[in-house]
Amino acid sequence: GNSVTQMEGPVTLSEEAFLTINCTYTATGYPSLFWYVQYPGEGLQLLLKATKADDKGSNKGFEATYRKETTSFHLEKGSVQVSDSAVYFCALSLMNRDDKIIFGKGTRLHILP
């Protein structure tokens, strides 16, 4: 089946630290990959996406590269800010008729000032 596995949180870092949140996937087809962010009390926002192998998605200083050989889509940011504190969800979609989004369990990130 199709699934997403991401590192468990919470992850606590100091401001300006380097962030990595690991994500791996299993898919029967060729998925598109996403990172969604959920700020406290808010809904889901698409942070970045990649639709084919070796694509790099980027937004707000966050990056993730679609690695087909390792079935991974790790989220990285060089210098985190307190405002990045949120829950981050890795997700995939097969982008065909069966196009539901399959989410990972989410990783809560706390950034300390």
Residues found near another protein in the complex (CB under 8 A): 32, 36, 42-46, 49, 51, 89, 91, 93, 95, 97-106
Look up residue 105 and give its two tokens: 């369990």
Closest to another protein by CB, 102 vs 111, is 102
- Nearest distance, CB of residue 60 and another protein, angstroms: 16
Q: Which is nearer to another protein, 73 or 89 (CB)?
A: 89
Strand stretches in the chain, DSSP E? 3-6, 11-14, 19-21, 23-26, 32-38, 44-50, 56-59, 62-65, 75-77, 86-93, 102-103, 107-112
Q: Rank residues 51 and 72 by Cβ distance to another protein and give the closer one.
A: 51
